[in-house]
Structure 1
Amino acid sequence: MTIQTLREIQAVQGAKLEESTSIPLSFGNDTEAIAATQTGVALCDRSHWGLLQISDEDRLRFLHNQSTNNIQSLQPGQGCDSVFVSSTARTIDLTTLYVTEDGVLVLVSPNRRQMLIDWLDRYIFPMDRVELKDISAQNVIFSLLGPESDQLLEKLGITPLTDKPYASHKQVEIDNIPVRIAVGSGLVTPGYTLIVSVDRAVSLWKTLIEAGVIPMGNRVWEQLRIKEGRPVPDFELTDDYNPLEAGLWKTISFEKGCYIGQETIARLNTYKGVKQRLWGLKLNAPVAVGTEIKVEDQKVGKLTSLIETEEGFFGLGYIRSKAGGKGLKVKVAEVEAEVVEVPFLTHPAE
């Protein structure tokens, strides 16, 4: 079976497909799906995300030298988030790495797949024993989101990875379907990431729906990622910002050796050079993304994302540290807004 077959089944289940990605935008059940992420379990199709496979003997050393986290210490069955940055520490992508017995799987943002492949390929030298492969077309990514995710796995005969660290993973069979299951939904919301071959994706989707999960469209994913504060390329992750400003401190090892962009990041950390940071914003009305954020007619930042929720309008934006933080009242164009914390992001204590 193909992705097209999966789309046809999802359409029967009420899916409205996005034109650009062909993934479900909504199943016409957004309120129910949000509730499932809070009290039950929802299922989100992330098949438009990229999946790279890095193999051969130097794979861990190579990735260790290309990204911000301590990759070389990871054992098979472990994983982590890591950021790929330019030589000037501008963010290319926030990725999740899963170390297997014979390779490393790298889950990348939808619009960064080719860019990252080209970027990594530039740094593979003739003596490096590294093989880089894009396996996105051969695999599908699903996310389970919600507090009942462990109970769902138990219902399907799978021992959940309860109490295992983030990005821990294992190969299992769900209804005789080989699936790699990893701790973490991709958001702060508890859950799991599932990697399945494209020819078994339809069977897995059906099995999960029949087990009682609520299908969830990308519109709800986008709402959750903004409310939780996950930064994404082209919005929060651009050439204008580094991963420290973006609140991705958990993805950075300050103890590891040299990697691309390391000198700039170390200098920013050592000399308290982070002059702005990413925050959540509660707004009274909608405003165009890219609008300046002001305090008393003084520009202090920029709005990077916006979504309408049942509670009102919520956005993300960078704000200069000197202007203030949580609780700060600002104006975005003529719209009043309040600065709030978001759980995905971390920063050191001031």
Structure 2
Amino acid sequence: MSALQDAQIQAGAQRHPDGCPLTFGQERATEPILPTGVVVFDRTHWGRLRLTGADRVRYLHNQSTNDIQSLVVGQGCDTVLVTSTGRTLDLVTTYVEPEALTLIVSPPSRCHIHQWLEKYIFFADQVTVQDQTEASAMFTLLGTASHGLISQLGAQHLANQPLGNHALIQWREMPIFIAVGTGLTNPGYTLIIPIEFAANLWQWLVAQGAIPWGEQAWEWLRIQQGRPVVGAELTPDYNPLEAGLWQDISFNKGCYIGQETIARLNTYQGVKQQLWGIKLTAPVTPKTPIYLGDEKVGLLTSYTDYFEREHLGLGYIRTRAGGAGLTVQIAGQTAQIIDIPLAHRGYLSKTQG
């Protein structure tokens, strides 16, 4: 890890306390290149868990919301881990490999999710959970020019494939796991590599034109697009339907932890609040209440103004209060509720347009 950190510091990185680059000092100046160019994020601080054993697929299928058993080797998907009462623990990306499942989990919940998964392994289950985070690094390439970089690495066959599809390639004697998708709406790829090769791959990507961006820029993108995160939008206060994660839930797969609650919410249209984007006119601290007139109708969960163009937030709004286009008050200022591209709304899309 020190070799990777040294390479990033030489490139101007200021580091976050958790070890990830906070900023490289060039994000605002290089923002215009994102649609047609390529930027690279170091997401090594995200957790990587590995499930092995003959029962691994069945086990994860029974512990999470999506249909894991329908996947074949080389495919992947997002799935949600929830409590027995349907409250959200984490949004997890799962990749199906020949002999294992790789799970990408949120940085704050890595240890908790590891323990939670082990808690539900019973005596007869042939499943082992291993934490691979310290042994590997993870980078995400965003932008259409990322297709060219992947081709140079020998994974051109992944271009235009569905999200989650992946392959393990050998490049200059380095094993690199490459998956389609970025966790955002931007086109791109996620790369996982043994930690001893991380600095070499990072330096190569930058030398080929990938512009390093830090955690502050990632935060701006994910708030702009509506990706919920643990500790803000994904907490025991909310369920995955409220967080707009309908596309990561199978309503036909049968039982899993929390399934009865999720199914009941869907059947009886019981989603009482929804996650929306919020366009503000000034900074606001997360956890500030949202009002419609004199009535409290929601809570701000995230805020950013990183690219200095606008003040953006995410927040939960009571379903009966409305959605996109609604004008609300937050901390004495008027704010506008806006749609977010990553939020799916299930049956609500039929009733609210």
What is the TM-score of this pair, normalised by structure 1? Answer: 0.97
Give the aligned partner of residue 24 of structure 1: 21
CA distance in 1, matches of 2:256, 2:247: 17
CA distance in 1, matches of 2:217, 2:150: 23
Distance 1:270 1:138, change over 3 A: same
Give the aligned partner of residue 207 of structure 1: 204
Deviation at 1:210, TM superposition (A): 1.1
Letter in 1 for 2:226: G
* Residue 290 of structure 1, aligned match among 287, 292, 305: 287
* Residue 321 of structure 2, aligned match among 323, 327, 330: 323
Deviation at 1:176, TM superposition (A): 3.4
Give the aligned partner of residue 277 of structure 1: 274
SS at match of 1:147: coil
Counterpart check, 1:345 vs 2:343: yes
Counterpart check, 1:35 vs 2:32: yes
Distance 1:297 1:22, change over 3 A: same
* Residue 56 of structure 2, aligned match among 45, 55, 59: 59
Q: Is the 8 A contact 1:276 1:320 kept in 2?
A: yes
CA distance in 2, matches of 1:223, 1:23: 16
CA distance in 2, matches of 1:314, 1:71: 34
Give the aligned partner of residue 156 of structure 2: 159
Q: Is the 8 A contact 1:150 1:160 kept in 2?
A: no
Deviation at 1:33, TM superposition (A): 4.3
Give the aligned partner of residue 243 of structure 1: 240
* Residue 110 of structure 1, aligned match among 84, 107, 111: 107
CA distance in 1, matches of 2:308, 2:282: 13
Distance 1:270 1:152, change over 3 A: same
CA distance in 2, matches of 1:72, 1:320: 35
SS at match of 2:237: coil
CA distance in 2, matches of 1:169, 1:36: 26
Deviation at 1:158, TM superposition (A): 3.3
Q: Is the 8 A contact 1:36 1:214 kept in 2?
A: no
Letter in 2 for 1:41: V
CA distance in 1, matches of 2:226, 2:30: 19
CA distance in 2, matches of 1:66, 1:37: 37
* Residue 182 of structure 2, aligned match among 179, 182, 185: 185
CA distance in 1, matches of 2:198, 2:118: 29
CA distance in 2, matches of 1:173, 1:261: 40
Q: Is the 8 A contact 2:155 2:167 kept in 1?
A: no
Counterpart check, 1:147 vs 2:144: yes
Give the aligned partner of residue 77 of structure 1: 74
Deviations 1:280-327 (A, max 9, x none): 000011111101101111100000000003321000000011111111
Deviations 1:194-236 (A, max 9, x none): 0100011011101111111101111101110110110001100
Report sequence identity in percent. Answer: 49
Give the aligned partner of residue 11 of structure 2: 13
Letter in 1 for 2:237: D
Deviations 1:134-177 (A, max 9, x none): 11111111000112111222244431412211110001133432
Letter in 2 for 1:301: G
Give the aligned partner of residue 227 of structure 2: 230
Q: Is the 8 A contact 2:279 2:338 kept in 1?
A: yes
SS at match of 2:138: strand
Q: Is the 8 A contact 2:154 2:169 kept in 1?
A: no
CA distance in 2, matches of 1:212, 1:176: 22
Deviation at 1:14, TM superposition (A): 0.6
CA distance in 2, matches of 1:75, 1:68: 17
Distance 1:62 1:33, change over 3 A: farther
SS at match of 1:97: strand
CA distance in 1, matches of 2:33, 2:215: 15
Range with bigger deviation, 322-331 or 145-154: 145-154
CA distance in 2, matches of 1:174, 1:219: 31
Deviation at 1:22, TM superposition (A): 1.6
SS at match of 1:113: helix
SS at match of 1:126: coil
CA distance in 1, matches of 2:292, 2:177: 48
CA RMSD across the alignment: 1.1
Range with bigger deviation, 268-277 or 164-173: 164-173
Distance 1:209 1:175, change over 3 A: farther
* Residue 312 of structure 1, aligned match among 277, 287, 310: 310
Structure 1: stretches of 5+ with no match in the other structure: none
Deviation at 1:264, TM superposition (A): 0.1
